[in-house]
Amino acid sequence: MLILTASELSLEFGDKKILDGVSFSVNEGDRLGIIGVNGAGKTSLIRLITKEYTPSGGSVFIAKEKSVGCLQQNVIVSDADGAMSVIDYMYSAFGSLLSLEGEIKKIESALASDTAGAEAERLYSRLNEANESYSRLGGLEFRSRCRARLLNMGFTEEHLSLPVSSLSGGQHTQLSLARLLATEPDLLILDEPTNHLDVDSLFWLENFISQYKKTVIIISHDRYFLDKTTTKTLQLRYGKAQLYHGSYSRCKEQQEADAAALERKYKAQQLEIAKIKANIDFQRRCGQEHNFVTIRAKEKQLARMEKIELAPAPEKNIRISFDEEKQSAGEVLRVRDLSVGYGVPLFSGLNFTLTKGERLFFLGDNGCGKSTLIKVLMGRLSPLFGRYEFGYNIKIGYFDQENSTLCSSNTVFEEMRSEYPTKTDFELRSALALFLFGAEDVDKKISELSGGERARVTLAKLMLKKVNLLIMDEPTNHLDIGSREALEVALTAFDGTVIAVSHDRYFIDSLATRILELSAGGAVDFRLDFGEGAFSEYMRLRNEKRSQEAPVPLQKQESEQKLSYQQRKDEIRAQRMLENKKKRAEEKIAELEAEQSRLKDELFSEAASDYVRAAEIDRRITEIDDELLKLYEIVM
């Protein structure tokens, strides 16, 4: 069943066209990821769907009686709600249930006042109806669900009674997400939901969305998250939209395959056109009457031919590289018995030694002290106890997640000039051009820039600074996928040493050689083998360590001992059946994708003028799309 349809959607602000004829549909149960570079119109599209924006053209249809819930980026709970406690703010999402509770209490109070006769019967009847409605609408479990969602999003029991106004900006977003998930709307729309979530909350959210029985639309630059949660992908480019079946990685694979196939068809058609034109030229040179008949026929053939156009070039991406000015010492950093915090330690007794060439990531729950540790290492905050020292000839480049080193009153160019007064205008403008700041963009005030643009200015300043140690606090925040990939390539090629804090698991997977997991109890040091990817290897080692440390409850031990030989055989058989099912699905996927590719080739060649055959092919391609979607669900 269709739950959402967008038809020829267009959106313009002044003379700037954001979206141009965007059309797509979402079925009930779909999990759609929306991707595109910063500025491609992803958030604008969501605001058209939620009726916050009015389209310049086209329309949006949402199925009747379907509830819609949307999480915007960096949401701040309004001041009117700020006096509420965190848990009461969660409950306020269930207004009808709270009203029913009030009604039930009034009826019970009236019955307790010795009401008798017909009035008592009427009140009992009303009470039964109210209780039935309350139960049907989920009144018996909405409070426990609200509490569970808060804990899932990283809140503690102590947070529940705090006023909403006391929360940080990141916690406002987490609270809004928890409240939205508790309501379980028919169409759940999430704009960058992974911001401000720690690893455990991310895993819980991935699992929740993967099992969500309703419909989800997600905007995210988190490639790991998209791969785990989405079944379809809508890419926005140059104001247009292209829908792909499968998650982000499958979308990229399909894009590459489609581009290669399109290029082959384009070259084949150009060769055919060249042959026809050569034939026309030959006939003209012959100059006989029958030659002119042939010429007219060939010209009509060319006019009727539906010209194949190559896909537009990919959007420009940043280009970045980091160079060492001087070689550093082999020992880059030594930390001994370090405690950091604000009066009260966030963690204590941190000890480690960092050597040249390592790429060390600090991970841990929100609030564990990762960014605080970075500020201590940068000398912006004093440690509570212990010491640290950098090795000989260490030159540091620092990326601050708040971009607080930027002066808001400067233009982009003035910001670069203030950092590098001896460089020529050409050098500074050339560096900014690598980060997609054109001639007009360099005159923008820093205060006018988006989060992504501010991050690019900070990276441009950092690139020109010759360093051998990069310390980066959430460098991928506000960057689109292409910019993240460019940064990954640059850091991989960097010969120096890297210390970083990041929630981007794809980024960690690509780069980390070592992870320090921080907690109140100290730190656990993971040195990584890249066989499975850094983050995957870290999770494997982390889970092994926790399973070894966690005591096994007596009841669980007894239960495991009672597993019969037949039960274990059944488990092994079920696992093999699942593996065989996945294998058959993968084989069928390859077979169907090959058939689809052949059909598309035929559709653009011999069937192009055979409308009956073209219709048959189109129907079969649609059938294959449906079959593939079901098979993708099996192998994911």
DSSP H or E run through 340: strand 331-342
For the chain, the residue count is 636
Tens-digit pLDDT profile for residues 232-269: 999 999 899 999 999 999 999 988 888 888 888 888 88
* Three-state SS annotation for 515-546: EEEEECCEEEEEECCHHHCHHHHHHHHHHHHH
Lowest mean pLDDT across 80-89, 208-217, 482-491: 80-89
Residue 553 predicted with pLDDT over 70: no
The per-residue pLDDT for 567 is 58
As a whole number of angstroms, the distance between CA 399 and CA 460 comes to 11
Tens-digit pLDDT profile for residues 218-229: 999 999 999 999
The mean pLDDT of 577-602, rounded to a whole number, is 79
- pTM of the model as a whole: 0.76
> What is the 8-class DSSP label of residue 563?
-
pLDDT band at 573 (very low <50, low <70, confident <90, very high): low
Residue 558 predicted with pLDDT over 50: no
Residue 217 predicted with pLDDT over 70: yes
Residue 523 predicted with pLDDT over 90: no
SS3 state of residue 420: coil
pLDDT band at 86 (very low <50, low <70, confident <90, very high): very high
Q: Tell me the two tokens of residue 130.
A: 């109210």
The mean pLDDT of 298-320, rounded to a whole number, is 85
The per-residue pLDDT for 100 is 92
The per-residue pLDDT for 619 is 79
Residue 27 predicted with pLDDT over 70: yes
As a whole number of angstroms, the distance between CA 504 and CA 75 comes to 20
Q: Where are the alpha helices (DSSP H) in 318-411?
A: 370-377
Q: Check if the beta carbon of residue 10 is closer than 8 Å to that of residue 60.
A: no
SS3 state of residue 145: helix
Q: Check if the beta carbon of residue 362 is closer than 8 Å to that of residue 383.
A: no
The mean pLDDT of 502-515, rounded to a whole number, is 91
Residue 435 predicted with pLDDT over 50: yes
pLDDT band at 556 (very low <50, low <70, confident <90, very high): very low
Q: Residues 278, 283, 287, CA angle at the centre, nearest 5°? A: 145
Q: What is the mean pLDDT of the chain?
A: 87
Q: Check if the beta carbon of residue 22 is closer than 8 Å to that of residue 241.
A: yes
Q: Phi and psi (nearest 5°) for 292? A: -70, -30
Lowest mean pLDDT across 240-244, 297-301, 392-396, 442-446: 297-301
Tens-digit pLDDT profile for residues 374-410: 999 999 999 999 999 999 889 999 999 888 889 999 9
Residue 231 predicted with pLDDT over 90: yes
pLDDT band at 562 (very low <50, low <70, confident <90, very high): very low
pLDDT band at 79 (very low <50, low <70, confident <90, very high): low
pLDDT band at 554 (very low <50, low <70, confident <90, very high): very low
As a whole number of angstroms, the distance between CA 571 and CA 574 comes to 5
pLDDT band at 604 (very low <50, low <70, confident <90, very high): low
Q: Tell me the two tokens of residue 313.
A: 């070039």
The mean pLDDT of 186-194, rounded to a whole number, is 94
The per-residue pLDDT for 222 is 92
The mean pLDDT of 329-356, rounded to a whole number, is 92
The per-residue pLDDT for 551 is 58
Q: Check if the beta carbon of residue 180 is closer than 8 Å to that of residue 71.
A: yes
The mean pLDDT of 434-441, rounded to a whole number, is 91
- With a pLDDT cut of 90, the percent of the chain lying above it is 49
The per-residue pLDDT for 565 is 44
CA-derived radius of gyration, the chain:
30
pLDDT band at 560 (very low <50, low <70, confident <90, very high): very low
Residue 569 predicted with pLDDT over 60: no
Residue 203 predicted with pLDDT over 60: yes
The per-residue pLDDT for 229 is 95
As a whole number of angstroms, the distance between CA 274 and CA 497 comes to 55
Residue among 251, 208, 244 at smallest CA distance from 229: 208
